[in-house]
Structure 1
Amino acid sequence: MKHYLFIAFLCASLLGFSQNPTRTFESVDFKNNVLEIKVNDGTYKITPYSKSIVETTFIPSGESFNANSHAVVLKPESLPSELIKTDTSFELKTEGISVQIQKQPFQISYIYKGKPIISEELGYVKNDSLETIQFNLTNDEILYGGGARALGMNRRGYRLELYNRAHYGYETHSELMNYSMPIVMSSNKYMVHFDNAPIGFLDLDSKKDNTLTYETISGRKTYQVVVGDSWTELIDNYTDLTGKQPMPPRWALGNFSSRFGYHSQKEVKQTVQKFRDEQIPLDAIIIDIFWFGKDIQGHMGNLEFLKDSFPNPTQMIKDLKSDNVNTILVTEPFVLTTSKRWQEAVDNDVLAKDSIGNPFTFDFYFGNTGLIDIYNPKGKTWFWNIYKGLADMGVTGIWGDLGEPEVHPSKLLHATGTANEVHNIYGHDWAGLIAEGYKTDFSNQRPFILMRAGSSGSQRYGMIPWSGDVNRTWGGLQSQPEIALQMGMQGLGYMHSDLGGFAGNVQDPELYTRWLQYGVFQPIYRPHAQEDVPAEPIFWDDKTKALAKKSIELRYKLLPYNYNLSFQNHKEGTPLMRPLFFEDDSDPLAIVASTYFWGADFLIAPILIPNSTDKEIYFPKNNNWFDFYTLKKFEGGQTVSVKVVEGHIPTFVRGGALIPMAKPMQSTKEYYGNTFELHYYYDASVKESKGQLYNDDGLTAEAFEKGNYELLKFESEVGKKKIELEFDAEIGNRFQSQIKKVDLIIHNVKSKPKSVKIKRKKINFTYNEALTTVSIPFDWSTSEELEININLN
Structure 2
Amino acid sequence: MNKFLKIFPLIILIFFSCESPKFRDSKIYELTNSNLKIALNSQNILFSYRNKDNESLFKELIDEELYFSDLKSQNDTLLGERFSVEKNNSYIELKDNTNSFAKIKYETDKITFELNTKSIYGLGERYGNLNLLDYYGTYKIINDHKYGDRAIMSIPVIYTDNGLCIYFASPYKTKMIFEEKDGIAYVSYYNFDKGFDIYIIKENSTLEAVKKYYELVGKPPLPPKWLFGYIQSKYGYYSQQETLDIAKKFVALDLPATGIVLDLYWFKYMGDIDWAQKTFPDPKNFIKELNTLGFELINISEPFFDRYSKNHKIFKDFGFFGKKDNSYMQLSSWWGTGGIFDYTNEQANKLLWNNSYKKLIEIGVGGLWTDLGEPEGVPENTIFKLGKEDDIHNLYNYYWSKMLYTNFTNDFPLKRPVILSRSGFSTSPRFGVSVWSGDSNASFSGLEIQPALMISSSLSGFSFWASDVGGFVGDSTPKLYTKWSEFGLFSPIYRPHGGKVDREPWVFGEDTLKNVTKLLKLRAKFQPYIYSNAYLTSNYGIPFIKPVMFTDSNIALEIKQEIENNSYFFGESILYRQSYNNYNYSVYLPISGEWVEMQSFKSYIGNVLHKINFIDGNPPYFLKPNGVFIENSKASYKEFDTMEIYINNRSEGVGSFLYYDDDGISTNYKNGSYDLLEIKNSFENGKIIIEINPIKTDFNKNKLPNLEFNIFIPQTIGNIVTTDEFDTKNSIYKFKMKYPENQKRFTLDLKK
Normalised to the residue count of structure 2, the TM-score between the two structures is 0.90
Correspondence list, 1:133-172, <5 A:
133-138=110-115, 141-156=118-133, 157-170=136-149
Shift of 1:738: 4.8
Q: Does residue 47 of structure 2 align to residue 56 of structure 1?
A: yes
- Could you tell me how far apart the structure 2 residues matched to 1:210 and 1:488 are? 23
After superposition, the CA RMSD in angstroms is 3.0
Is contact 1:169-1:469 (8 Å) kept? yes
Aligned counterpart for 1:780 among listed residues 736, 739, 744: 739
Shift of 1:643: 1.8
- Could you tell me how far apart the structure 2 residues matched to 1:675 and 1:466 are? 33
Is contact 2:661-2:675 (8 Å) kept? yes
Cα distance per residue 1:370-427 (max 9 Å; x no partner): 0110111222112322211100010010000001011221121000110011111111
Correspondence list, 1:567-578, <5 A:
567-578=535-546
Paired AA for residue 714 in structure 1: I
Is contact 1:584-1:621 (8 Å) kept? no
Cα distance per residue 1:247-288 (max 9 Å; x no partner): 111111100010000000110000000000010001001000
Paired AA for residue 273 in structure 1: K
- Could you tell me how far apart the structure 2 residues matched to 1:769 and 1:139 are? 50
- Could you tell me how far apart the structure 1 residues matched to 2:27 and 2:518 are? 58
- Could you tell me how far apart the structure 1 residues matched to 2:616 and 2:174 are? 46
Is contact 1:30-1:36 (8 Å) kept? no
Q: Specify the alignment match of 2:86 in structure 1.
A: 100
Is contact 1:693-1:713 (8 Å) kept? yes
Aligned counterpart for 1:269 among listed residues 244, 258, 261: 244
Q: Does residue 62 of structure 2 align to residue 72 of structure 1?
A: yes
Paired AA for residue 518 in structure 1: F
Correspondence list, 1:476-491, <5 A:
476-491=446-461
**What SS class does the counterpart of residue 279 from structure 1 fall into?**
coil
Is contact 2:441-2:473 (8 Å) kept? yes
Shift of 1:207: 11
Q: Which moved more, 1:542-551 or 1:617-626?
A: 617-626
Shift of 1:41: 7.9
Q: Which moved more, 1:447-456 or 1:653-662?
A: 653-662
Shift of 1:542: 1.1
Cα distance per residue 1:687-726 (max 9 Å; x no partner): 43322201111122372x4222221011223356653322
Q: Does residue 708 of structure 2 align to residue 729 of structure 1?
A: no
Q: Does residue 75 of structure 2 align to residue 110 of structure 1?
A: no
Call closer, same or farther: CA 1:656–1:210 in 2, change over 3 Å. Answer: closer
Is contact 1:556-1:665 (8 Å) kept? yes
Call closer, same or farther: CA 1:204–1:777 in 2, change over 3 Å. Answer: same
Correspondence list, 1:290-369, <5 A:
290-293=265-268, 299-355=269-325, 357-369=326-338
Q: Specify the alignment match of 1:706 in structure 2.
A: 671
Q: Does residue 596 of structure 2 align to residue 626 of structure 1?
A: yes
Shift of 1:543: 0.8
- Could you tell me how far apart the structure 2 residues matched to 1:360 and 1:569 are? 41
Q: Specify the alignment match of 1:662 in structure 2.
A: 632
Call closer, same or farther: CA 1:701–1:327 in 2, change over 3 Å. Answer: same
Call closer, same or farther: CA 1:603–1:30 in 2, change over 3 Å. Answer: closer
Call closer, same or farther: CA 1:72–1:719 in 2, change over 3 Å. Answer: closer
Q: Which runs of no fewer than 5 residues in structure 2 stay unpaired? A: 1-15
Q: Which moved more, 1:209-218 or 1:513-522?
A: 209-218
Paired AA for residue 94 in structure 1: E
Q: Does residue 473 of structure 2 align to residue 503 of structure 1?
A: yes
Is contact 1:722-1:790 (8 Å) kept? yes
Call closer, same or farther: CA 1:31–1:568 in 2, change over 3 Å. Answer: closer
Call closer, same or farther: CA 1:44–1:236 in 2, change over 3 Å. Answer: same
Aligned counterpart for 1:32 among listed residues 25, 40, 55: 25
Cα distance per residue 1:532-560 (max 9 Å; x no partner): 3x211033311101101111111111111
Shift of 1:347: 2.6
Q: Specify the alignment match of 2:424 in structure 1.
A: 454
Correspondence list, 1:334-483, <5 A:
334-355=304-325, 357-385=326-354, 386-483=356-453
Is contact 1:520-1:551 (8 Å) kept? yes
Is contact 1:247-1:701 (8 Å) kept? no
Aligned counterpart for 2:711 among listed residues 743, 746, 759: 746
Q: Does residue 76 of structure 2 align to residue 83 of structure 1?
A: no
Paired AA for residue 688 in structure 2: I
Is contact 1:84-1:93 (8 Å) kept? no
Q: Which moved more, 1:685-694 or 1:363-372?
A: 685-694
Is contact 2:144-2:152 (8 Å) kept? yes
Is contact 1:146-1:202 (8 Å) kept? no
Shift of 1:479: 0.5
- Could you tell me how far apart the structure 2 residues matched to 1:390 and 1:615 are? 47
- Could you tell me how far apart the structure 2 residues matched to 1:659 and 1:211 are? 40
Is contact 1:159-1:205 (8 Å) kept? no
Shift of 1:63: 8.5
Shift of 1:751: 4.6
Paired AA for residue 499 in structure 2: Q
Aligned counterpart for 1:769 among listed residues 702, 724, 728: 728
Q: Does residue 167 of structure 2 align to residue 202 of structure 1?
A: no
- Could you tell me how far apart the structure 2 residues matched to 1:360 and 1:92 are? 53
**What SS class does the counterpart of residue 554 from structure 1 fall into?**
helix
Aligned counterpart for 1:646 among listed residues 597, 606, 616: 616
Q: Specify the alignment match of 2:159 in structure 1.
A: 185
- Could you tell me how far apart the structure 2 residues matched to 1:451 and 1:40 are? 47
Cα distance per residue 1:158-200 (max 9 Å; x no partner): 2112221111112xxx7xx431222233334322222111212
- Could you tell me how far apart the structure 1 residues matched to 2:638 and 2:441 are? 33
* Paired residues, number: 723
**What SS class does the counterpart of residue 324 from structure 2 fall into?**
coil
Q: Specify the alignment match of 2:219 in structure 1.
A: 244
**What SS class does the counterpart of residue 600 from structure 1 fall into?**
coil
**What SS class does the counterpart of residue 403 from structure 1 fall into?**
coil
Q: Does residue 511 of structure 2 align to residue 518 of structure 1?
A: no
- Could you tell me how far apart the structure 2 residues matched to 1:229 and 1:582 are? 16
- Could you tell me how far apart the structure 1 residues matched to 2:223 and 2:53 are? 42
Call closer, same or farther: CA 1:169–1:525 in 2, change over 3 Å. Answer: same
Q: Specify the alignment match of 2:12 in structure 1.
A: none
Paired AA for residue 285 in structure 1: I
Call closer, same or farther: CA 1:362–1:47 in 2, change over 3 Å. Answer: farther
Q: Does residue 531 of structure 2 align to residue 563 of structure 1?
A: yes
Is contact 1:709-1:735 (8 Å) kept? yes
Cα distance per residue 1:21-73 (max 9 Å; x no partner): xx9xxx9999824544277885524345x74x64432258x999778422111
Call closer, same or farther: CA 1:342–1:778 in 2, change over 3 Å. Answer: same
Cα distance per residue 1:310-346 (max 9 Å; x no partner): 1101100011112221010001011011223211221
Call closer, same or farther: CA 1:476–1:77 in 2, change over 3 Å. Answer: same
- Could you tell me how far apart the structure 2 residues matched to 1:75 and 1:581 are? 33
Paired AA for residue 93 in structure 2: S
Call closer, same or farther: CA 1:739–1:574 in 2, change over 3 Å. Answer: closer
Is contact 2:694-2:740 (8 Å) kept? no
Shift of 1:100: 2.4
% same residue:
24
- Could you tell me how far apart the structure 2 residues matched to 1:555 and 1:546 are? 15
Call closer, same or farther: CA 1:515–1:54 in 2, change over 3 Å. Answer: farther
Call closer, same or farther: CA 1:600–1:586 in 2, change over 3 Å. Answer: farther
